[in-house]
Structure formats: C-alpha cells, structure tokens
Amino acid sequence: MSIFRSRFRLRSESGREALTALLFMLPYLIIFLVWEIAPFFFGLWISFTNYNLLHLNTLKFVGLENYAKVFTDELVGTAFLNTVYYAGGLVVIGFILALILAMTMNSTRFGSKFLKWVCFIPYIMTISATGIIWKRIYAGQYGILAQIFKAVGLPSLAFLNNSGTAMPAVIVVGIWIGIGYWALILMAGLQNIPKELYEAAMIDGAGKWGQLRFITLPLLRPIIFFVLTIAIIGSFQVFGLVTTLTGGGMGEVYGGNPGYHTLTIVMLIYAQAFKLLDMGYGAALSWILFAIIMVVTLLQMKFIGFGWEE
C-alpha cells in the first residue's frame, strides 16, 4: 500500500507540474493559435476561393482555378525567374564572400572586433535606411557612383533604372546586408574546429586548399546548412529591399521602374492580394512559394545534410 501511495503521489505531483507549466504556456499558445495557425489555414482556404475584399457577397469555392491560373500568367514566370536570379546571385556570391570574411576574421586578432562590428551594422539597419543610402549611391546623374565614374572619365549609369543592371544592383545591396551576419555565424563554427587538425594536416603536407577541402568545409557542414537555408529562404521572400530600391519593379501593375526586371514572387503576391484585391489568387501564389521553399530546403538536407551523422 505504501508503494502504491508513493507512486500515486508522484503521479499527482507530476500532473500538477504539467498543469502549472501548461498554464504558464497558455498565453503564448493562444497568441500562436490566433496569429499563426488560424491565418495558416485561412490562407489555405481562401486559395480555393475567389475571395475579394470588395465583393464578399460573391464569394464562392473555385477549386484549383487559382492554382491553374499560375500556368497561364506570364508575370508568374517572370517573377519566378527574377527571384531565382536574385537568390542564386545572393547565395552563391554572398556565401563565398562571407566564408572568406569569416576565415579572415578568424585568422587575425588585430582589429577583429572592429571588423565584426562594422560588418554587422548593415544587417541591423532598417530596410528603408538601407534603400535611401543605396539609392543615393546608384543615382544616375548625381549619385556617388556616377561621380566616381565621371572622375575617371567613364559615362554615368542609372543602375536602378536600367533593365540590365537593376537586379545585379539589388543583389549587391542584399549581399552587403547579409554578409556580416553570415560571416559571424561561419566564424563561430570555425572557432570550434580544433587547431590540432590543421597542425596535423600541415605535418602531412596539406596546403591551404587541402585544409579547406578536407577539414574546414566538412566540419562546417551544419553551419553551412544553416547559413544557406536562412539565406535562400530570405532571398525567396525578398520584398522590402526591392520595393525601396526600384518601387517593386511592378511596371504598369504597381507603377514601378524598371518594368518587370526586378519583379519578385512576393511583390507579385502583394500586388495581387492588396493592390488588385484578388486575395484568392494571392493566397494560391503564397502557397506555391511555400512549396518551392520547402522543396529547396529538403534538397539542401539531402545533398548537404546537417553534418551530424558522422
């Protein structure tokens, strides 16, 4: 009987502790359900309807019509290609530069703290401030770059108003924003790699390239996976930067400039849902974007992995 009572007492105490923990979590759970889970399923539902804020009386279920419309909408293909272009340039060039910067900061002590601080400033700046600064740099006639080109005898170029340079100019700004944050994360991973491994590799005759290939990159796989994941997700969701620099590149749909050359998926979703008020189609586009990001992340997990299985 004493054993039974002690077990019952333990279970009662565990139940009270669990109930207390649940009560403390309840405010967050309510907020999570209201602001995360409910909009999640509401967005899924309206993607199968002709939901329009100005014509709620005509609301009806249209099935896969919004999803089928994607294959006939030319702007979707343009926005998707532009988004892939931006993501590819940002991730590939940005990651290589971030890795070089991280290795530089990790291998030097003099001025490393100052360098970390300077590199991280662009990441914590607001998008609006960043846009104002870089629009002044890119301005065609009186911008900083135009003045530099003029000083060396080169013709000035309105980077953000030129169809061939608009997206590369946006990519440069995106790299400028994220490179410091990515470099700090990579440097944290580099500092956890035992120096004895590099010393042993040097004794065996391995050069810098061999150390990078067989020590640094394999042991950085979890960090690389994390950096690439957040970089790709962020680049596929780019909105504020493009809006600030080029007006969204929405052409006659949004009044942006230059045409559709900087139109991204999220900008198209915004235009359809909040400018044209076709929220059903906008929701369908957002779910397609969600599926694309999920597939890309799963491919990263397959080919890069977390690096914890060894």
> pLDDT, tens digit, for every residue of 255-283?
445 568 888 999 999 999 888 889 999 99
- Find the length of the chain: 310
Cα 227 to Cα 98: distance, rounded to the nearest angstrom: 10
| Cis before 258? omega within 30 | yes
The reported pLDDT for the residue numbered 250 is 55
* SS3 category, 157: coil
The reported pLDDT for the residue numbered 253 is 43
The reported pLDDT for the residue numbered 6 is 52
pTM: 0.84
Give the list of residues 6+ apart from residue 50 with CB closer than 8 angstroms, or none.
58, 59, 60, 62, 65, 280
Question: How far is residue 161 from each of residues 137, 164, 174, 264, 268, measured CA to CA in Å?
Answer: 13, 9, 18, 16, 19
The reported pLDDT for the residue numbered 216 is 87
The reported pLDDT for the residue numbered 112 is 67
The reported pLDDT for the residue numbered 203 is 84
How many C-beta atoms lie closer than 10 Å to residue 301's C-beta?
A: 12
Q: Which DSSP letter does residue 70 get?
A: T
* SS3 category, 49: strand
Counting as low any pLDDT under 50, the low residues of the chain are: 4, 8, 10, 251-256, 307-310
